[in-house]
Amino acid sequence: MTCERSYARAMSRIDRAGRVIPTSPQTVYAALLDRDALEAWLPPEGMRGRIERWDPRPGGGFRMVLSYLDPVGNPGKTSDATDVVEVGFAELVPPERVVQTAVFEADDPAYAGTMTMTWHLAAADGGTEVTVTATGVPPGIDQAAHEEGIASSLANLASYLVTNAQAAQRKP
């Protein structure tokens, strides 16, 4: 397969994952725009995250450093143990949608380009259906691993929101 065809195939693919989270769309939307919340739930299993810059408005964004807890077998995009990503808020539609652009800092051209992550929120039986779609995914990112990572982040989000709701109920 030629490099051009590989690039075109990667750019036309859509990675996705979804989950029903037992809370309101407003609560989920708030967690998508809260710095402390994002640091807690966004890194997928096996990673930790730190936000270095934060500007939660359309046209704003954030810079996140993701560190692999065990980088052996999981080489980072930016260094052996890290992924650094610049995320922009392209669109914010409370409490329905957050559209982000993501650019990884990487020397390898396989990770170059702007990926768009769209978080769709819809009221559903039992809470909020959250569907994440990623387009323009750089060809160096394996689709199955990416979808697994998105699903892991969604599981973290659900756990984070349920735990916070339970803690709020226990407060006098």
* Number of domains, the chain: 1
Q: What is the CATH number of the domain that holds 67?
A: 3.30.530.20
Query: What residue type is 49 in one-letter code?
Result: G
Provide the residue range defining the domain that includes 77: 3-170
Q: Which two tokens stand for residue 132?
A: 């994440």
How confident is the model at residue 79, as a pLDDT?
79
Q: CA angle, 134 as apex, 62 and 30 as ends, to 5°? A: 45
pLDDT over threshold 70, residue 172: no
Q: Place 70 in a pLDDT band, splitting at 50, 70 and 90.
A: confident
Q: pLDDT by residue (tens digit) across 107-164?
A: 999 999 999 999 999 999 999 999 999 999 999 999 999 999 999 999 999 999 999 8
DSSP sequence for 11-53: HH-EEEEEEEESS-HHHHHHHHT-HHHHHHHSSPTTEEEEEEE
